[in-house]
Amino acid sequence: MVQLPLPKHIDERELLYRINPEKDVDGFHPYNLGRLMIGDPVFLPCTPWGVQELLVRYQIEVSRKNVVIVGRSNIVGKPLAMMLVQKAKGANATVTICHTATPNLSQYTRMADILIAAAGSPRMITGDMVHDGVVVIDVGINKVDDHLVGDVDFESVVPHASYITPVPGGVGPMTIAMLMVNTVKSAERFVSSQ
């Protein structure tokens, strides 16, 4: 397993190509991302899957909703967008991908029924950037001084949110749970092929 992001001196792409797609429990290999794109995944990327699973488990309707993802990484933003546009349970949404360089970001975030922050920028989403009733999922985890904060300014956003995930303790445990599911699936596939 490769823990992303990697230090800058290591070529992430080269390393990911070396992983056997059948053992890629993180779901980061280009083969697995391509299968995700066409709606036939082998392994779902763990953090995006954890986000989707949170929505399903809390019975938050995704179908026909406006989902705004702030973050365009290959780890969270792009794969999550592909998952949420599929015709599937916990999906079928209209998805907009934004990022830290999006002009007038709040113009998009205010339209979100579901806002997912995954840009790696501490407290960048503030209360004036959301509408009342929004569902907020904060994937960000940033160290500020001696504590961890998300990409969402929790205190200013919480009065507007119908649901909001904490940092730490929200998406992180879901990522680990989905990694365990993928690991068991990989082991079962290996055993059944013997």
Mean pLDDT of 163-173: 96
Q: What is the pLDDT of residue 185?
A: 92
Using pLDDT thresholds of 50, 70 and 90, give the confidence band for residue 2.
confident
Q: What is the pLDDT of residue 158?
A: 98
Using pLDDT thresholds of 50, 70 and 90, give the confidence band for residue 6.
confident
Q: Give residue-wise pLDDT tens across range 21-79.
A: 888 999 989 999 999 999 999 999 999 999 999 999 999 999 999 999 999 999 999 99
DSSP string, 27-63: --SHHHHHHHHTT--SS--HHHHHHHHHHHHTT---T
CA distance 46 to 170: 14
Coil/strand/helix, residue 139:
coil
Coil/strand/helix, residue 112:
coil
Spell out the domain ranges in the chain: 7-43, 45-170
Q: Is the distance from CB of 45 to CB of 36 less than 8 angstroms?
A: yes
- Joined together, the tokens standing for residue 192 give 């059944």
Residue 12 has pLDDT above 90, yes or no: no
Using pLDDT thresholds of 50, 70 and 90, give the confidence band for residue 194.
confident
Q: What is the pLDDT of residue 102?
A: 97
Q: Evaluate the omega torsion of the peptide bond into residue 7 and state whether it is cis, within 30 degrees of 0.
A: no
Q: Which fold has domain 45-170?
A: Rossmann fold (3.40.50)
